[in-house]
A = this chain, B = another copy of it.
């Protein structure tokens, strides 16, 4: 707002540049060019295919305004890393756009310092770096959009459409913690150990399992186990049987899941970010060995069947498990179109 043209200096850098320097420069990787150019430039590994995905999160829809700021960026990064894990890809970089309410008294310097400190921790943990992005203001809630880049051995990316009838349906980790964690954060369930809320805040992308030669198909569970199981079956042109009593629950989940309603929430609630896998019988042992070597639990929870079968959710005694909904399905709440 000063008459700079009469001074012997360049116009002062606008506030957003110092904001970016202050908070994001420490995250910038090699190709990011110090976040000062129009784009990032880097040499991809010539012996690999590129893998790219994008996800957005909206305050009040995908995370709570009261969530610790250091977990918010990490959650978005981890959900994208989970997409890389689902394709058996090795992530290396990410871009972030951030549409932030101005002067709402909440998203201040301290908030962003915590936000980016969390991201810095995860960058070290998952060996990725920031390549670029954009900040804008908005009159609505905070909106974050993250694009992740990775690479994979040519032809080895795991797809959703490769399952075959007879393949086992397997899942990593435990199911339902994220959905129960949200309920705990809303005060609707106890969570004495904090396990459930931590799983809601910080999903664990199952990277590095190298299942390209073991699984026929894979995806990550983001929209609920039932719905995502149906996706795998549909994309592969198959039916599927889901043995609901074998779906792995954590100790913390078992302690609170006292009725079929909460059991159903685990099966359909989403926010799991575990891997769902179609694995031929003859690879079962190798799958278990590989996961065990990486410290990742893996459980057989069903079987792919010929197409006419549809999706059957059955109990141990052979009866159907009643499902009133298959997962998050309302328009726009949470849909990846890749």
Write the residues of chain A forming the contact surface with B, with a CB cutoff of 8 angstroms: 1, 3-17, 19-20, 24, 31-33, 35-44, 46, 49-58, 60-62, 82-84, 86-87, 89, 93, 95-100, 102, 131-141, 143, 145, 147-150, 152, 154, 157, 159-161, 219-220, 223, 226-227, 230-231, 233-235, 239, 308-313, 320-338
Known: A39-B51, A137-B333, A338-B131. A320 touches B97 (CB 8 A): no
**Complex Cα gap A10–B38 (Å):** 46
Residues of chain B within 8 A of A100, CB atoms compared: 332
- For residue A8, give the distance in angstroms from its CB to the closest CB of chain B: 4
Known: A54-B95, A331-B102, A332-B135. A159 touches B309 (CB 8 A): no
Residues of chain B within 8 A of A56, CB atoms compared: 97-99, 134, 136, 143, 145
Other than the given A37-B219, A136-B332, A140-B140, 11 more pairs (CB < 8 A) read: A4-B326, A36-B160, A37-B86, A37-B161, A38-B86, A38-B219, A40-B338, A42-B49, A52-B131, A52-B132, A137-B331
Residues of chain B within 8 A of A57, CB atoms compared: 136
A–B pairs, 10, beta carbons within 8 Å: A3-B323, A4-B326, A10-B239, A35-B338, A39-B89, A39-B157, A57-B136, A58-B99, A58-B136, A133-B337
Q: Are A338 and B32 in contact (CB under 8 A)?
A: yes
Q: Are B322 and A145 in contact (CB under 8 A)?
A: no
Copy number in this complex?
A: 2
Q: Are B136 and A54 in contact (CB under 8 A)?
A: no
Known: A53-B38, A58-B136, A230-B11. A16 touches B99 (CB 8 A): no
Q: Are A152 and B3 in contact (CB under 8 A)?
A: no
Q: Are A154 and B43 in contact (CB under 8 A)?
A: yes
Residues of chain B within 8 A of A61, CB atoms compared: 136-139
Interface centre among A32, A51, A223, A308 (most CB of B within 10 A): A51
Residues of chain B within 8 A of A16, CB atoms compared: 329-333, 335
Q: Are A159 and B33 in contact (CB under 8 A)?
A: yes
- For residue A322, give the distance in angstroms from its CB to the closest CB of chain B: 6
**Complex Cα gap A100–B263 (Å):** 31
Q: Are A135 and B60 in contact (CB under 8 A)?
A: no
- For residue A236, give the distance in angstroms from its CB to the closest CB of chain B: 11
**Complex Cα gap A38–B51 (Å):** 9
- For residue A52, give the distance in angstroms from its CB to the closest CB of chain B: 5
